[in-house]
């Protein structure tokens, strides 16, 4: 009689799912574990252990399924809290942590960013295209160049 590895794995995965829903853990953790295990499966198959790679592929399948179920539970939980009119407790805790962690870094920032107070800095006017016509405009010669179209009237 062999040890029932798949059944033990499923029991542990189910226990993790229950704990994850209760503790409000991120539903993407099993998906990340499945991706890591998928790489291990590919290496195992490349080394020639096909039977072990097939068993690991089953684990990957179970982890992906658990991740999808946890993400679905997370989505339903967020939908219910939005229907009640308040943010999800996880989202509220995340924004509180983000504000608390950003505050100490405020003092570490440089006093002025390169684009701070851009309107206070003088900007030189660039008119490279119009400089070629400066001499003609000042001499009063109103004749356009042979290859240039006449200006349009604003009314037409």
Segment 25-48, tens digit of pLDDT: 898 999 999 999 999 999 999 999
The pLDDT value recorded for residue 11 is 95
Establish if 37 belongs to a structural domain.
yes
Q: Number of structural domains, the chain?
A: 1
Establish if 140 belongs to a structural domain.
no
Task: Give the residue among 39, 104, 25, 102 at the shortest CA–CA distance from 67.
Answer: 25
Establish if 130 belongs to a structural domain.
no
Full residue range of the structural domain in which residue 83 is found? 5-89
pLDDT surpassing 60 at residue 99 = no
The pLDDT value recorded for residue 5 is 87
Establish if 105 belongs to a structural domain.
no
- Helices and strands, number each (H, E), in the chain: 5, 0
User: Considering the entire predicted model, what is its pTM?
Assistant: 0.52
Establish if 148 belongs to a structural domain.
no
């Amino acid at each position: 009689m062999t040890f029932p590895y798949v059944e033990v794995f499923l029991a542990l995965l189910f226990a993790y799912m229950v704990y994850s829903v209760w503790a409000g853990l991120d539903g993407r953790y099993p998906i990340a574990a499945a991706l890591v295990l998928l790489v291990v499966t590919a290496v195992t198959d490349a080394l020639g252990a096909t039977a072990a790679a097939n068993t690991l592929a089953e684990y990957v399948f179970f982890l992906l399924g658990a991740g999808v179920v946890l993400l679905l539970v997370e989505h339903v939980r967020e939908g219910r809290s939005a229907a009640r009119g308040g943010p999800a407790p996880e989202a509220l805790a995340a924004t509180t942590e983000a504000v608390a962690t950003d505050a100490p870094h405020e003092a570490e920032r440089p006093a002025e960013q390169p684009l701070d107070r851009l309107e206070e800095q003088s900007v030189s006017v660039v008119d490279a295209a119009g400089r070629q016509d400066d001499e003609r405009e000042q001499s009063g010669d109103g004749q356009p160049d042979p290859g240039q179209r006449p200006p349009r009237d604003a009314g037409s």
